[in-house]
Amino acid sequence: MARVNTVLGPVPAETLGIVAFHEHIGYGMPGSELDAKWWKSPEQKYEETVPKLRRFHELGGGTFVDATGICNGRDVDYYKSLSAKTGVHIVACTGFVGGDTALSHFAKASVEYLADQFIHEITVGIGRSGAQAGIIKVGVSRGGRMTELDKRIYRAAARAAKLTGVPIMTHLAIDAEPAVEIFHDEGLPLDRVVFGHVDDGVNADKTNDVWIAEQGGRIGFDTFGYETELPDPPFWARPRQERLDHFLRFIGGPGRLEKVLASADANCSPLGWPGVKGHTVNYIFEDLIPDLRKAGVDEATITTIFVDNPANFLTLHA
Ligand SMILES: [Zn+2]
């Protein structure tokens, strides 16, 4: 059976429905939980998050992939209760947003140690939650070049992905050559990797999405909604139409529609920072899908982007 790991157990890939493939229940920098300025009670977090997930479900959302990872506020027992309460499948990830958010215990670890950690979280479970990770997160540290630690994490992720069959998602797709080389070197087919954030306002110009797709990688347009039109846009915002044009141009290329995934990278309840006002996962339904329809994208293509491609990608290939 084609199955996908969710926090409440494996489910058939055909039951995922519309997938938001790169989102966050709550993301914060390591240590932010120690800053009393930002403390939130469990009730507050719940109150901020449940309505967004309920709305997601009402609008037709089936599956929410949490891209938070180790050290950035991942809380799997909490995700289990959110999933049970709202009926939304939640997929948790193992791995790290980037080497620069891995705390020293992990930053000093060998490839073998990191791979074992990822494999354990995928096959046995995360902590004592029993929830198995469904995807591995890796990323490029600040500075725009892969660091030695980033590379160590990518290599460990490649080994874990190959052994367990879960896919990999990257934070940033800049400096992609060393990443592609590591995946080749470890014998991981590139269609098991989505290279993310190709569309953000800081990195889009420095990201060779067409080249990555030609190598066989999947492409994540996953910062939809972080637009300069917002009242208080973040530094990675981009004009709405510019991002949409980029996306339409990309999927118009030969063989590229099947390689694309789209998401909003929103936070239901940010940890240690105020978050971006006016942006939620539901941008996908309230703005993005209507924009695509207005641009002439047909329903079959929308289904390919939000249902078929993520189901195919998230399915365990072991
Ligand atoms: Zn993210």
User: 155 C-alpha vs ligand 1 centroid, how far in Å?
Assistant: 20
Give me ligand 1 centre to Cα 22, in Å: 6
Domains and CATH numbers, the chain: 3-314 (3.20.20.140)
- 113-117 long-range CB contacts below 8 Å, 24 or more apart? 113/156, 114/152, 114/153, 114/156, 114/157, 115/155, 115/156, 115/157, 115/159, 115/160, 115/163, 117/70, 117/156
Distance 263 CA to ligand 1 centre (A): 10
Per-residue model confidence (pLDDT) at position 151: 98
**pLDDT given at position 33:** 84
Number of H helices, E strands in the chain: 12, 11
Category of 89 on φ-ψ map: left (φ > 0), alpha (ψ -120 to 50) or beta: beta
Distance 191 CA to ligand 1 centre (A): 20
**Whether the model pTM is above 0.95:** yes
Which pLDDT score is estimated for 1?
A: 64
Nearest to 102 by CA among 31, 1, 184: 31
pLDDT at 38: 87
pLDDT, one tens digit for every residue, the chain (318 residues): 699 999 999 999 999 999 999 999 999 999 998 888 888 899 999 999 999 999 999 999 999 999 999 999 999 999 999 999 999 999 999 999 999 999 999 999 999 999 999 999 999 999 999 999 999 999 999 999 999 999 999 999 999 999 999 999 999 999 999 999 999 999 999 999 999 999 999 999 999 999 999 999 999 999 999 999 999 999 999 999 999 999 999 999 999 999 999 999 999 999 999 899 999 999 999 999 999 999 999 999 999 999 999 999 999 996
- CB within 5 A of ion ligand 1: which residues? 67, 265
| Distance, C-alpha 61 to centroid of its chain | 16
For ligand 1, the distance from its centroid to the CA atom of residue 66, given in whole angstroms, is: 8
Residue 184 CA, ligand 1 centroid: distance in Å: 25
For residue 47, which of 12, 74, 85 has the smallest C-alpha distance?
A: 85
Find the 45 Cα to ligand 1 centroid distance in Å.
18
Pairwise CA distance, residues 138 & 150, whole Å = 7
